[in-house]
């Protein structure tokens, strides 16, 4: 099972990376690594690109939302646009697709920001069918399919947290700063 960092830890990572604060307890090597990460992400975290960068035939969305929220965003983005492949981690989503454009991505994210999206049965059927077939319990084969899907979705995904994150983050206007 994937081991994800929570939203709070990732938000603290964002705060450290977006600040110019120095930490006296860091070794010279650690301070240099932190400085290098800050320089590398400066263009993404400055607010002008909403946490989005296009590099090497992929789009990277730096959410700093945590692994479960990013995993939920992955399944939602792939259900909303079937031509995209989304690779989540704790701090970002990497999107790949031949028809992936910044404006198309922005439209899909704005759609995800709508409460109606999360209540759309057709979308959730797509998400349910794309979830991996993890075995969570020896009783799982005895569960009705809808219970099994719900348990897996609640265990792997964080729909409530994702909806809240999208409301609070106001994508395309906040650069991921929460």
Number of H helices, E strands in the chain: 8, 4
Question: d(Cα 17, Cα 72) in Å, to the nearest integer?
Answer: 24
Domains of the chain: which residue ranges? 7-169
Q: 146-169, pLDDT tens digit by residue?
A: 777 677 677 778 988 999 999 887
Q: 100-138, pLDDT tens digit by residue?
A: 888 889 899 999 988 899 888 888 888 877 877 666 677
CA 177 to each of CA 42, 120, 170: distance values in angstroms, whole numbers, following the listed order: 13, 28, 9
Q: 50-78, pLDDT tens digit by residue?
A: 788 887 789 999 999 999 999 999 999 99
* Helical packing angle, 67-80 and 121-130, nearest 10°: 120
């Amino acid at each position: 099972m994937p081991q994800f960092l929570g939203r709070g830890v990732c938000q603290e990572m964002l705060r450290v990376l977006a600040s110019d604060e120095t930490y006296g307890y860091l070794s010279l090597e650690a301070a240099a690594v932190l400085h290098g990460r800050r320089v590398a992400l400066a263009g993404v975290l400055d607010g002008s690109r909403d946490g989005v960068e296009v590099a090497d035939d992929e789009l990277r969305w730096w959410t700093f939302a945590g692994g479960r929220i990013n995993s939920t965003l992955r399944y939602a983005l792939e259900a909303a646009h079937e031509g995209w492949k989304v690779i989540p981690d704790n701090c970002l989503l990497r999107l790949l697709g031949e028809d992936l454009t910044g404006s198309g991505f922005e439209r899909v994210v704005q759609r995800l920001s709508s409460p109606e999206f999360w209540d759309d049965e057709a979308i959730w059927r797509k998400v349910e069918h794309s979830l991996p077939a993890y075995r969570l319990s020896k009783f799982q084969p005895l569960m009705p399919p809808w219970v099994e899907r719900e348990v897996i979705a609640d265990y792997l995904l964080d729909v409530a947290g994702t909806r809240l994150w999208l409301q609070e983050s106001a994508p395309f206007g906040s650069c991921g700063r929460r």
